[in-house]
Structure 1
């Protein structure tokens, strides 16, 4: 860290700085970054990539790879990180092993992005392959977001039952300031307070594309009949212009 320019860390939140420092300084094989929704939990990896390259004097052998979904992979690629899906990494690496080759990951840092969505079998395979190649990995995600379709919750278990170091990022960075308190309320499971905050923000305050539909109020209610009409229109691929929500009067 002494060789990393301070300018690379100044725009980070406290949680992002802690995660970046952990990634760069830890000698452990596996570390974990737990971040809330819209908290920029994937930001430390492009940031650590830049810091690591700076500290290493732009060593071309120092590699960062991301096990992300396709859309997240494009974000990582734009930051200079070699990105592919977890399924692609498992397939290609296992194919090399079947052909008698052992990949060298000794100077490679992997990001297992959206780790809360990875099942136990795929996580175990990925870790085994990374260990076999001598690499390191950071599992990043949010326990409260989408869960795995496959059995198991390895990301949650890594935080609760393993010896891995965990950096926690609680700051919301990708949300307009007026709605940020509502997000914190949802994180705390306080739905009533979140909706009260949202009601105080008018639809005109929320950025929208020109000509986009805007509700009459920031909190609206759809009746069961309206919900069925919307579902029917969606299933038939038809517009549903006659269904208008009403301002919510429901007590939460």
Structure 2
């Protein structure tokens, strides 16, 4: 059987003008635009990002697919199977499907599971990943805090899946990016305070979006539950600088 092509398209962190030209071109060509959402009655954030720049594509079908925000495999698997089956119905008719995902398809994205499952369900299918601007890149841009320079090392940690080793990570890495915060803010703040790094941390929610919020005193968000677009970046800045003996550039040198 000949299938349509499957594309995982990163649509960026939220600002529509951060969608790449390649992403737009792929979504305009695809006969089907698959749009994930967290519930059957909720909106698709990917579609909210894409809609202002993509608009209406004549003849294109939009399919809204539900992927619950839950850790329970007993709840996730049936929902995923239903969503994958809906995509398969289109692929088996020879239709190209563009799966739009916030940020980048290869970082904490549902598309990762679809990409793994696709060759099993549809042998020989063509799969292409279209990278997007990740929130990990957007947050440093809006806060002015670089991720790494010189000899610095970075750790990216999903907060809701356990931060038992956060103290060790803070000691080992120069910059720690905490994503998917959920209800872990009180614990995160406690660990940062004990490590003397509370003043080196910044909280950002919905970076580059209209509702963007930046909080540099984490005590103000201690009782908040971090949404799926909230992040904390902790940057020690103890080993940044020029690699060659930490010697600063002289005027006129590049």
- Fold-level similarity (TM above 0.5): no
Q: Which structure has the greater CA radius of gyration? A: 1
**Normalising by structure 2, what TM-score?**
0.35
| Bigger fraction of residues in strand | 2
The answer to which structure has the higher helix fraction is: 1
